[in-house]
Chains A and B, each alone.
Chain A
Amino acid sequence: QEKVQQSPESLIVPEGAMSSLNCTFSNSASQSIWWYQQHPGKGPEALISIFSNGNKKEGRLTVYLNRASLHVSLHIRDSQPSDSAVYLCAVGGGSALGRLHFGAGTQLIVIP
């Protein structure tokens, strides 16, 4: 079974700073990596996904995937108070009927 671990558990940054979140997974054959954002009382919402080794940039978000080291990171440039939320890393299984395996999440707090 896929194991997904996230670090740190919580992160506090000042407004305008870069926020860096980490995720490790156990299966190098995993097909997809997703980052979800969850605000209190809401369901998770997908932010960005990556399928190939390397990096992907969308707006203030950049994701880096290194399959050899089973590591993926999410970087949020110019962090805003509205970015304060729980960020969940999710890994898609290798089988055709695979589904997402989630990490425990990182609580991000951006201080104005």
Chain B
Amino acid sequence: GGIITQTPKFLIGQEGQKLTLKCQQNFNHDTMYWYRQDSGKGLRLIYYSITENDLQKGDLSEGYDASREKKSSFSLTVTSAQKNEMAVFLCASSEVANTEVFFGKGTRLTVV
């Protein structure tokens, strides 16, 4: 088994601020993902990466940057926090695309 660790668990930022969310996995998985979860809207893919230093845009990439410096870590940056993007951000990983995806517990973002 393995675990996905997201830090921080709670993040409070000011409108316009640049904020970074971090994710580590010890599954040794190739593919990692960042999803955003809004109440009543399910999960929407922001970025994913199929290997170290690879980045693929998802459906919701505008306003975000991502970085995969090594296989075990994947970070997400909110380039300019807005009040309407308060949500839970979920990091996930899988062995390859289309296999079981394992999730972390999430980072809850609040913008004031």
- B residues near A (Cβ < 8 Å) are 4, 31, 33, 35, 40-45, 48, 50, 56, 58-59, 90, 92, 97-98, 100-106
Known: A99-B48, A104-B42. A45 touches B98 (CB 8 A): no
Query: In A77-96, which residues have CB < 8 Å from any B CB?
Result: 88, 90, 92-93, 96
A-B contact count (CB 8 A): 58
Q: Are B43 and A43 in contact (CB under 8 A)?
A: no
Give the CA-CA distance A4 to B40 in the complex, in Å.
13
Residues in B with CB closer than 8 Å to A41 are 105-106
Give the CA-CA distance A100 to B92 in the complex, in Å.
11
Give the CA-CA distance A42 to B64 in the complex, in Å.
23
Looking at chain A's contact residues, the main secondary structure is loop
Q: Counting chain B CB atoms within 10 Å of each CB, which of A31, A32, A88, A102 scores highest? A: A102
Residues in A with CB closer than 8 Å to B105 are 41-43
